Amino acid sequence: MCHALVMPTPSLAKGKSPNTSHDYVARVVVTSRNYADFGNEATFEIKKYDLHRLEEGPPTTAVLTREQGLQYYKTMQTIRRMELKADQLYKQKIIRGFCHLYDGQEACCVGLEAAINRTDHLITAYRAHGFTYTRGVPVREILAELTGRIGGCAKGKGGSMHMYAKNFYGGNGIVGAQVPLGAGIALACKYFGNDEICVTLYGDGAANQGQIFETFNMAALWKLPCIFICENNGYGMGTSVERAAASTDYYKRGDFIPGLRVDGMDVLAVREATKFAAGHCRAGKGPIVIELQTYRYHGHSMSDPGVSYRTREEIQEVRSKSDPITLLKDRMVNNNLASVEELKEIDVEVRKQIEDAAQFATTDPEPPLEELGNYIYNKDPPFEVRGPNLWTRYKSVG
């Protein structure tokens, strides 16, 4: 079984318009390599975990199958391209309001999702696009939500910070407030005895919030099946962790709760750590804290250029040495799990998917004004109490 890579002609690569037929000629490079030539799996060393109140941690080697590798690569590449498209749409003023991008942190959500069940529960902060995708929401619904269209996953009413799916509770806009909510979900898991767990995520900026420590205390007392995950991307808003926290050992912050510090740029390290933590919770041992050391390429939000408190050289160094997608790609190619050409084919497929989704997100209609009050309450239409549906007298024009 051969595979083909479509490449542009030199004239097209130089930026000439593809609108005329004589310019748009594709060269097809056919490789004779058969898929059977690739290995089925390979074993990789993982950076040593830092442990807190644990006698032993996750394994320091991980097996990656070819099928898993291709899946992880495509998912991470999709999230990366989706975020870059969101950046473009925001700068075109098609996306408005708050928008927090996830590019650079893709290994966190992909590795985490690979280690839990779809029936498990997940709640996160406002940097939520990647988790929305790994929880099963299509790219077109995510981008349509960002552009405020009725085809969005929250019908255009949630925007960047408030996305939901089955067993996914958002996208929460109040710093750290999702952590006690996650403990509440974990309490429900324990109450129903269904062997489900809740993964509760927050950032290093939220880690100093008092409600997180209150939640740790309750979770430890009640032995809740909750994995608390701090995505430490080095900066909360525009402040580095060293300037914001007396202790930057976030994995130790649970005190009597065991903790792990993990290389959050390595999808396999994240996967193995989360598997270990999920097993800990399902065994009835109570909560566990994971600190994922990761990095965001964009600023905190779109209003933050991200270069006033860090240098462009720092960002470029992370990109060149620790990029999660490049790391996985190199592992797969160097260990005969995939070819460069095959991964390029995935890149082409992903770009087309993102462009199609963006087309939908910019042409789908906005929700009509008369629906503004719908879904605020469980009942639809809204029930009468102090006039919550006063705006239903307004109608959309045009």
Q: What is the pLDDT of residues 199-247, one digit of tens each?
A: 999 999 999 999 999 999 999 999 999 999 999 999 998 899 999 999 9
Contacts of 126 (CB under 8 A, 6+ apart): 98, 100, 160, 161, 171, 172, 173
The CA distance from 357 to 351, in Å, is 10
Taking a C-beta distance cutoff of 8 angstroms, is the pair 241, 248 a contact?
yes
Residue 334 burial by Cβ neighbours in a 10 Å radius (0-12, 13-18, 19+):
exposed
Nearest to 254 by CA among 168, 156, 183: 183
Contacts of 144 (CB under 8 A, 6+ apart): 150, 151, 152, 153, 156, 357, 360, 361, 364
277: helix, strand or coil? helix
Nearest to 306 by CA among 233, 355, 398, 370: 233
User: Mean pLDDT across the stretch 72-83?
Assistant: 98
The CA distance from 143 to 362, in Å, is 9
DSSP of 194-241: -S--EEEEEETTGGG-HHHHHHHHHHHHHT--EEEEEEE-SEETTEEH
Q: How many CB atoms lie within 10 A of CB 362?
A: 15
Q: What is the pLDDT of residues 369-381, one digit of tens each?
A: 877 777 776 656 5
Pairing of strands 198-203, 226-232: parallel
Q: What is the pLDDT of residues 82-136, one digit of tens each?
A: 999 999 999 999 999 999 999 999 999 999 999 999 999 999 999 999 999 999 9
pLDDT of residue 7: 36
Contacts of 2 (CB under 8 A, 6+ apart): 30, 31, 32, 33, 34
Whether the CA torsion 90, 88, 349, 21 is positive or negative: it is positive
Q: Which residue has the higher pLDDT, 175 or 25?
A: 175
For the entire predicted model, the pTM comes to 0.87
pLDDT of residue 389: 56
The CA distance from 209 to 179, in Å, is 10
The CA distance from 172 to 175, in Å, is 8
183: helix, strand or coil? helix
Q: Which residue has the higher pLDDT, 303 or 35?
A: 303
pLDDT of residue 372: 74
Contacts of 191 (CB under 8 A, 6+ apart): none
Taking a C-beta distance cutoff of 8 angstroms, is the pair 278, 115 a contact?
yes
* 398 pLDDT more than 80: no
Residue appearing with tokens 């408030």: 162
Q: How far, rounded to the nearest angstrom, does the alpha carbon of residue 288 sit from its chain's CA centroid? A: 20
Amino acid present at 79: I
Banded model confidence at residue 33, pLDDT cuts 50, 70, 90: low
Q: How far is CA 243 from CA 248, 252, 312, in A?
A: 10, 18, 20
The CA distance from 295 to 323, in Å, is 9
31: helix, strand or coil? strand
Which stretches of 49-115 are DSSP H helices?
A: 66-91, 106-113
Q: How far, rounded to the nearest angstrom, does the alpha carbon of residue 212 sit from its chain's CA centroid? A: 21
| Token duo for residue 22 | 């004589």
DSSP state of 165: B
